[in-house]
Structures are given as structure tokens and as C-alpha cells.
Chain A
Amino acid sequence: MPKPKINKLIFITIIIFTILFSLTNSGLAMATKQMTAEEIMKKRDENEYIQSAYAEVTMIISKGGRGIEKNMVMYSREKDAFVEFTNPGDRGTKFLKRDDNIWMFFPDAEEIVKISGHMLEQGFMGSDFSYQDMMEFDKLTDLYTFTILEEDTFTNRPCYVLEAIAIPGKKVSYYRRVTWIDKERFVGLKEELHAESGRLLKVSEVQEIKEIDGHWLPIQVVMENKLRRDTYTRSIIKEIELNPELDERLFNLENLH
């Protein structure tokens, strides 16, 4: 009677594997299901939050079928950032962000101008990123309450779709954000930015990501202004170095001259 023994062995093996597999799967499923929106965002913040960085960036502004390319070098450290344009048309134009203030220097005018008030709503160097967008260096979990809307895929990557609503009293640019976050890499892949009235203002989509020193970072991002037709800005990080040694004087106003 060997046949039944084999069958029994196979049966037991199948049962064990099934149990193991289902346990593993249910464990994974439980792990993901148990992740709250805050935990997902925290993981995202941990992944995307960089203490300091040096980057060479190209920005392509497309308006009505025409593209304008601008190149810049960026240095950032916590809430501070220094940007200098290097393309011929804008060479020497510099920006300095310190905490909640932005100054700019135009070489032709040889004057430092503080960007404040309504100027913050204007596009950064004519792009679809506003100066106000540059101001939000804070961790999003400090500014918004998150809820998971659904699970979806974006560019064939499984994503959590999270809705963020501004915490009352917090100064934020966008009242509501809907964000697609890669389930495994915890990097934001798409984001819809809404006004308090509910109107969709901007959509950013990440078209390329890269793992750098253990961080999955968006390398190519397209920002689309939904209030205007035929306009978007593509931002491409050409070079990036995380946590470089940065000179303290880099973030001084004197450095703008």
C-alpha cells in the first residue's frame, strides 16, 4: 500500500505549504493593512527627508508647445536653500531661502529683492512651481492629517492613495493633497494639490526615481498647473550628493552678491 502513503505525504506537504504560504501572506497583508496613513507618511518622510544636499538640476518650462531650459545648482540644509542659475540667459541669478524668507538677486539689477506677499504666488523663474511651493520644507506629517483613500497603481507600481487635509491653524499652501505613495519604496509618485475651495490647482508626477544612499528619491518630476492650459514644468536632477559638507557662509545674504 505505498501509493496511499505517497498521497498522504503529498497531501501533508501541500497542507503545510498552504498553511505557511497563507500565514506568510496573511502576515504581510496584516502588516500592510495595519499600517496607518500616519505610518505610511512617516515612512515617506523618513525616505524623502534629506538633512542636506547638493544637486544640479535642469528645469524645462513648457508653455504652449515651447520649452525653455534653465539649469541651476542647489544647496540645501534643513530649512535653508541656496540656488544659483547657470544657463546663459539667467547666469548669476541667485535665490536664498532661510526659514520662511526668500530673497533673490538679479545680476542685471545688482539688487537683492525679498520675495514676499503676492510675489510668493508667482511661478519660480516662470515655472509651474511657485515660490510658495519652495517654502514648504516642513515634514508633511506636522502639517496635515492623513487618511488612506484606496490602493492603486501608478506607472505599474502598487501605491497607497492618501488624502491629506491641513491641520487647522497650520500655515500650509494647499488645503488638500492627494498623494500616491509607492507601497514598497515609500516615495511619492503622484500628487494632486487642491485649493480650499476644492479646485484642483496642480498635479505633480514623478517620472523617474533612483535609490541614492538608501533613499528612493524622485529624479524627474513634472508639475502641471491645472489653472492654465498647455503649461507644465519638468524638473530633472542631473547630479545629487546627499549630506555633503556645506560652508556655513553659503546661506548668508552676502553670498547673494
Chain B
Amino acid sequence: MFSIRLGIKNLSRQKRRNIITILVIAFAFFGYLFLESLLNGMEEMSFDNIRDFETGDIQIAHPEYWPERKELPLDHLVEWNEIINDEIEKIKGVSGVSPELRFSANLNNGIDEMGVIGLGIIPENYNQVFKTQDYFSEGSLFALNENKAVIGERMAELMDLKMNDYIILLVRTREDTFNTIEVEIGGIVKTLNPIINSTIVLLPLHLVQQALNTENNVSMVSLKTNFGQEELAQQSIHEYFREEGLPLEAYSWRESAESVIALSTTKKSAIGIIMSVVLLIGMVGIINNIILSALERTSEIGMMKALGMKEWEIVFVFMVEAAGIGVMGGLAGCLLGFLGVNWLVNNGFYIEAWGDMTQYGIPILDRIYGVWNYYSFGYIFFLGVIVAILSSIFPAYWAAHKDPVEAIYQR
């Protein structure tokens, strides 16, 4: 009890040094909490952007098409019909079904050309699965029988295109023969997904099927599921395909988000590194503090030993002091972290100034918003206090181990 009281009392003896150590720990904790929130927010937004604009929650494709899908082939397409469509719509958890035909094309504006990804869609179905409809800056999504296209704002800027301009898409049919699709721009979108904004041209499905000679086939079918029912729906779809003997598979959106998943793995490593640095800062601060305290109090330690205090009791005094610094540093860090994360969650971090993040595989534009992770606050606090206590043991033992006579005379 005496050791605890002495330890707590010692906290107030070197106020300036202790405050500096507490602040160092607090800022390290704040940095960790802030960056973790930012990275988690980046991950969550990336996942949402992929699901809401590119893949839906589940994608149905031919198993031989799936590994080649990035090459946008016109082989191994899905023979989609109303019967299958209706059956899939009836599956529990499925809230939207959007057949789509993906193809590569060269977009011509009469002066320049650029490589784009064409996407033949049924507007009504597409709106059930994707959120693009909420992000039109001009015009609207075409009707199925219209010869119109929707492009992203970035693409419009690059190719100097405006509403009602006509574009020519140079495509290759299933037989590899060049063909053209000539359409009017009926809408321009600015979504949260940079791929949609710069690479995708949305077109009516039947127009694309006709130009590519693919009959009624589609490349993939994207599905929207109710919250938390993705796996259940995926399983039911698998069973339906097996029962009907259809050569199709249902894939989770995660399989299309490899780059972002890879980013997520990198994120975990980054968080681990940040955590190590934070704890190292805390450890160095505490060790430095205890060594300085021990050096200042060498004669005092000798006197305490001469009066009969045991070594472990002296070590305990320093441990209490370190624990106190750890607790105060942790609390201050959590408070700063709370303020920082709160700002990040509500205002977001403006990333456009950092340049085009899409080139690093981060499908986010404009701002990254943070997310709350209350578990991290508790985790970093307790881990910080434990590390502070453990860091104090060695220098405290070094101080307590001194010979009392030599310590009193400070030799």
C-alpha cells in the first residue's frame, strides 16, 4: 500500500517531465486512432463503391468466363431468359437482378478516340441493383428502346463531349469483326466510383447484343441482396443452378474486388506497423522517464533499501508511477482520438489534393470518411498501460538493485 501511495505521489514530483511523456503517449495514441479510422473508412467506402456501382452483391457468370472477365471476352456468355430471371428474383434475399453485357470499345468523338468499357443494361433492372441513377449531373438513364448512352463526367471532360452529342463506339463482334454503335449522349453521371466516371459507357442491352452478334446472351448478371442475406442467397442460387443443370456459378462481390481486398491486407499490415510505432514511442517515453527518475532518486532508493524496503517493493513504486503515466497518456490520447475520429466521421478527409487515388487501386474520389471503432479505443488504452508497466520493470529493477551504501553516496 505504501508502494502504491509513494508511486502515485511520485507522479507529481517531476510534473513537467511527466506531462511531456503523457503528451507524447497521447499524441501517439491519437495518431493510431485517427489513422485506423481513416484506413477503415477507406476500406468501407471502397467496398461500398464496388458493390453499389460495379458488381452488386453477387454476380452470376459462366465458370469459364469468370477468370477471363477482365479481358471482356464474348465467349462463354450466359444464356439468360425470363424463366431464369424470374426464378432468381424469387430466391429469398434477392432484391434486384440486372443482366449486363460487357465489352471493350473505342470511343470516337470525331477527333480523338479512347478505350472504354461498354455495358449493355436493362435500365429498370440496373436501377434495382446499382446506385448510378442517384448521381446524374445531366440528363437521365435512357429507356430500353432509345439509342442513347450514359457516360461519366470525367470521360465527357476528356473527350470534350456534352449532352446530345453523338458518339461512335468501335466494337468487335463475337466473330472479331469491327462494328460500330452510334448513339446520342442522354446522360452524364458523376458517381463516387472513378471507374464509372472515366471508363464505363452505359447502353441499352438489346442495342449492344445486336451490334456484337451475341443474340440474347449476357456476360454476367449482377444481383442485389437484402442486408445480411448475401451468403444465404448465394447458396440458394448455387442449389438452383445445380438442380436445373445450368452451367452457371454465383460469385460474391469480394471476388471482383481483389485489388481492394489486397488493399485491405495492406491496411492490416499498416495498422500493425502504426501500432508498433505507437507502442515503441510509449515504451521509449516510459523507459526514459523511469531511468531519469531513478537517477534523480538514487540516494532516496538507497535510503529506502537501508530502512528495509525490499527490491520488489521499490520496483513496484516505479511500476505504479509508469502505470499512472500510461493511464493519463492513454486517457488523453483517447480524448484526442475521439475528437479526431469524430471530425473524420463527420467532415471526411479531402483526398483530391493528393492526386488521383485510383492509380493506387483506391476507388474513391473527393473525400474519405472515417469510421468509429470503439473497440480500438479500449484496446489501445489497455495495451498502452500494460506496455507502460512492463517497460518500467527493467529500469526500475536496475535502480532497485543498487547497493544501498553506494546509492546513498551516489557512487
Contact = CB atoms under 8 A, between A and B. Distances in A.
A227 interface: yes
Interface in B70-116: 71-73, 104-106, 108, 110-113, 115
Contact of A228 (B72, B112, B179, B180): B112
Given A117-B72, A121-B170, A229 B111 contact: yes
B178 interface: yes
Contacts of A174: 177-178
Contact of A173 (B105, B168, B178, B181): B178
Interface majority SS on A: helix, strand, loop or mixed? loop
Contact of A175 (B105, B115, B178): B178
A189 interface: no
A197 interface: yes
B110 A228 contact: yes
Q: Size range of the interface on A?
A: 20 to 34
Interface in A213-247: 227-230
Given A172-B177, A197-B211, A199-B168, A118 B115 contact: yes
Given A227-B110, A228-B113, A118 B72 contact: yes
B243 interface: no
B359 to A, nearest CB: 16
Contacts of A175: 177-179
Nearest to A121: B106
Interface string B231-261: 0000000000000000000000000000000
A117 B175 CA distance: 13
Given A117-B72, A121-B115, A199-B168, A227 B178 contact: no
B172 interface: yes
Contacts of B197: none
A185 B102 CA distance: 46
Contacts of A196: 173, 177-179, 211, 213
B157 interface: no
A172 B180 contact: no
A121 B117 CA distance: 13
Contacts of A121: 104-106, 115, 170, 172, 178
A227 B177 contact: no
Interface in A85-130: 116-122
B241 to A, nearest CB: 28
Contacts of A172: 175-177
A197 B180 contact: yes
A166 interface: yes
Contact of A227 (B108, B172, B179, B211): B108
A170 B177 CA distance: 9
A171 interface: yes
A201 B178 contact: yes
Given A117-B72, A197-B211, A199-B168, A227 B113 contact: yes
Nearest to A175: B177
Contact of B176 (A119, A171, A228, A230): A171
Could you say which of A121, A193, A199 has the most chain B C-beta atoms within 10 Å of its C-beta?
A: A121
Contacts of B211: 196-197
A169 interface: yes
Contacts of A230: 111
B175 A170 contact: yes
16 contacts: A117-B73, A117-B104, A122-B106, A132-B178, A170-B175, A171-B176, A172-B175, A172-B177, A174-B177, A195-B177, A197-B181, A227-B110, A227-B113, A227-B170, A228-B110, A229-B110
Interface of B: 71-73, 104-106, 108, 110-113, 115, 168, 170, 172-173, 175-182, 211, 213
Q: Which 6 A-B pairs rank lowest in CB-CB distance, beginning with the nearest?
A: A118-B104, A196-B179, A171-B176, A227-B108, A117-B71, A195-B180
